[in-house]
């Protein structure tokens, strides 16, 4: 029987990743500024060529469907 409500094997959005407490702890330990990283990643994403499939995505990793 397939579990259709499973929340594993999904990709989080950039906002979800940067708001995770463990990620914040690791970034603080490494001296990473979350706002600066967010802006850098968004700027990089804007400059990348996008395929039609990626343009339909909902999160940072557009190929995954997630019910998180």
Tokens 């967010």, located at residue: 38
Q: In this predicted structure, what is the pLDDT of residue 21?
A: 93
pTM: 0.52
CB atoms within 10 A of CB 52: 6
pLDDT of residue 17: 85
Please report, for residues 3, 9, 16, 65, 66, the alpha-carbon distance to residue 6 in angstroms, rounded to integers and kept in the order given. Answer: 6, 8, 18, 12, 9
Model confidence over 21-32: pLDDT tens digits? 999 999 999 999
pLDDT per residue as tens digits for the range 34-68: 889 888 988 998 888 876 655 555 555 555 455 55
How confident is residue 16, by pLDDT bands cut at 50, 70 and 90? confident
């Amino acid at each position: 029987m397939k579990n259709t409500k499973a929340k594993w094997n999904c990709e989080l959005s950039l906002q979800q990743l940067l708001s995770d407490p463990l990620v914040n702890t690791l970034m603080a330990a490494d001296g990473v500024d979350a706002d600066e990283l967010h802006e850098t990643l968004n700027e990089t994403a804007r400059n990348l060529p996008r395929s039609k499939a990626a343009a339909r995505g909902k999160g940072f990793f557009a190929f995954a469907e997630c019910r998180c």
